[in-house]
Amino acid sequence: MKCLKCSEPIIIKKTFKNIFKTEYKALCNRCERKSIYNFYYEVIPINGGLIHHYYLKPKLISAEPQIDMFLLEKFFKIALFKKLPMLYFDSFTEEIYNLLDTFNIGDLLIITIN
């Protein structure tokens, strides 16, 4: 495998514990550290539940959606672990909040960038 940014080969260590697991990495460790997101977390109450809001501040904005998909993987795992529906917005405005407040959905996980 090669890194999508720098085209350096990606070497994944195999041991007896993970020999049969298939692991795919899009970025090498160096590029992943450069592109990692800083995020803020807040909980917002709504009608019938809570909004778990992750506000991301990327250090390096890339135009490649494949890279963003792998950087957001930990948030996908949180949504699966907590069994929450996840929504992804460019910005979280009061209009979106009022719309989500009218529905009786329960808990939500929302990710925004701006």
**Is the same domain home to 27 and 65?**
no
**Is the same domain home to 92 and 64?**
yes
Q: Name the average pLDDT for the chain.
A: 82
**Is the same domain home to 108 and 73?**
yes
Q: Which domain holds residue 21?
A: 1-32
**Is the same domain home to 8 and 40?**
no
Instruction: Return the structure tokens found at 82.
Output: 């907590």
Pairing state between β 37-46 and 108-112: unpaired
Res 12: pLDDT: 80
How many whole angstroms from its chain centre is CA 16?
A: 30
Predicted TM-score (pTM) of the model is 0.68
Report the domain count for the chain: 2
**Is the same domain home to 28 and 40?**
no
How confident is residue 3, by pLDDT bands cut at 50, 70 and 90?
confident
**Is the same domain home to 101 and 67?**
yes
Which has the closest alpha carbon to 43: 53, 35, 34, 33?
53
**Is the same domain home to 23 and 70?**
no
Res 78: pLDDT: 85
**Is the same domain home to 24 and 68?**
no
pLDDT digits (tens, 9 = 90+) for 26-84: 778 787 777 666 788 999 999 889 999 998 876 655 556 666 666 777 788 888 898 99
